[in-house]
Amino acid sequence: MKLVVDCRWVTDDPDDQLSRMTNGIVHALAERRPFVMIVDPTTALDRLPALPWELLPSPYSPAELFTGKKLNSIGADVVLTAAPGLIGIGRRFSLLVTGGTPQPAENAHRLQHLRTWPWRSRFFRSRMIRSADVVLGVSGAQQRVLLGESTTNQSVVTLHTDDAASASPDAWRGAAEQLDALIDEVYTSARARRDAAGSR
């Protein structure tokens, strides 16, 4: 099984909560299993584990429309990302999405605010979330919101974390254990469906 983790949200900004959450999850999960990281030109590679990586466009780029097909071409079986997006378009892999929201910095220019608008729009955010197989929250309150944004046939799971705002893997080891089991579960289910379809 080829697991791919979206690390493009990891930045050098210590106040970026989505970056801290992604960093904590990535490091905690790397203690349990190997995977391929996807990064973009602005990703803070020095903050990530020493694992194989693939360079892809920024999730804010129009080229993100083709990321799903690119991940198909590198043989991704399961993809995990900390925020919903267009990554699921044309995919043949299983997709786990955490309900993170990219936020512009306080002193960000207008373009930065504009490019994060789809994640703050209930309409677009809901449609991006619905492209996933499993939706992941990091608190009971977030899970309730995600239940409203997801479809009835999607699994919505709350990850166990000591501190959802922490970049430390210590805070995310419980979540990594859950993810470890979920990754195997969605891969096994997807493979069983493919085998069943192939036998018809």
Q: What pLDDT is recorded for position 108?
A: 67
Q: Which domains does the chain have, with CATH numbers?
A: 3-198 (3.40.50.2000)
Q: Does this model's pTM top 0.85?
A: yes
Q: What pLDDT is recorded for position 119?
A: 87
Count of CB atoms situated within 10 Å of the CB of 83: 22
- Are 115 and 96 within 8 A, CB to CB? no
Query: Which backbone phi and psi does 135 adopt, to 5 degrees?
Result: -110, 130
- Are 150 and 135 within 8 A, CB to CB? yes
Following CA atoms 104, 108, 113, 116 in sequence, which dihedral angle do they give, to the nearest 10 degrees?
-30
User: Quick check: helix, strand or coil at residue 71?
Assistant: helix
Q: What is the mean pLDDT of each run of 10 residues along the chain (200 residues)?
A: 97 91 96 97 95 96 94 97 93 93 76 83 89 88 76 85 92 96 94 76
Q: What pLDDT is recorded for position 107?
A: 72
Tokens linked to 113: 């605010």
